[in-house]
Amino acid sequence: MSTPVNFTRSLAGFTGAGYDKGRGPLVQIAWLLVSGAVLSHWWCPNRIRISILRKFGAGLAEGVLIRHRVRIHWPWKLTVGADSWIGEGTWILNLEPVTIGADTAISQDVFLCTGSHDHRSATFEFDNAPITIGDGAWIAARATVLRGVTVGNRAIVGATALVTSDVADDSTMLAPRAKEIK
């Protein structure tokens, strides 16, 4: 879809219409303080990390492992199934809900991003949508999964892959491989 030649963007007019943060400003501030001061550090044990995330509304089943340096934008918009892992450096930018199934591995430095903007909007309004990752899936290192995507059960998203549309159950999506140019 192309934008008209005379299109003008006015970011000053941005309203954020339709985006609900899900909690009030005091809870948001408390979360940002606690997550930055405690949760992201290597010395914070997983059981403490899980307990704090649950207190802030995350739906975490038994056996979930969340490593250090994991950034979770709003824990009350996160659900993770039993025995799943979230690797170091993962960023879950969940302006909308992110649901991760059971026995699912989210590897290091993965980016799950539910937020975007409508490029056709003169004020660049939000165009957000949830992300769902099925049971037994594996999102490999440095992969990116964007808004509105469902990754199926037992699916594999390879390292550095950029996922912009749904991934079927039992399928494998790989990023292009580097090739030598002579």
Instruction: For strands 71-72 and 156-157, give the pairing.
Output: unpaired
- Give me the architecture of the 23-173 domain, per CATH: 3 Solenoid (2.160)
**What number of other Cβ atoms are within 10 A of residue 172's Cβ?**
13
* 22 secondary structure, DSSP code: S
Q: What are 78-105's pLDDT values in tens digits?
A: 999 999 999 999 999 999 999 999 999 9
Which pLDDT belongs to residue 3?
56
Distance, CA of 152 to CA of 179 (rounded, Å):
29
Q: Angle at the Cα of 169 (from 164 to 173), degrees rounded to 5?
A: 45
Which pLDDT belongs to residue 18?
87
Q: What are 97-137's pLDDT values in tens digits?
A: 999 999 999 999 999 999 999 999 999 999 999 999 999 99
Q: What are 150-180's pLDDT values in tens digits?
A: 999 999 999 999 999 999 999 999 998 888 8
Q: What are 23-70's pLDDT values in tens digits?
A: 999 999 999 999 999 988 999 999 999 999 999 999 999 999 999 999
For residues 166 and 134, the answer to whether their CB atoms sit within 8 Å is no
> CA torsion angle for 147, 153, 159, 164 (degrees, to 10)?
-30
Q: Is 6 left (phi over 0), alpha (psi -120 to 50) or beta?
A: alpha
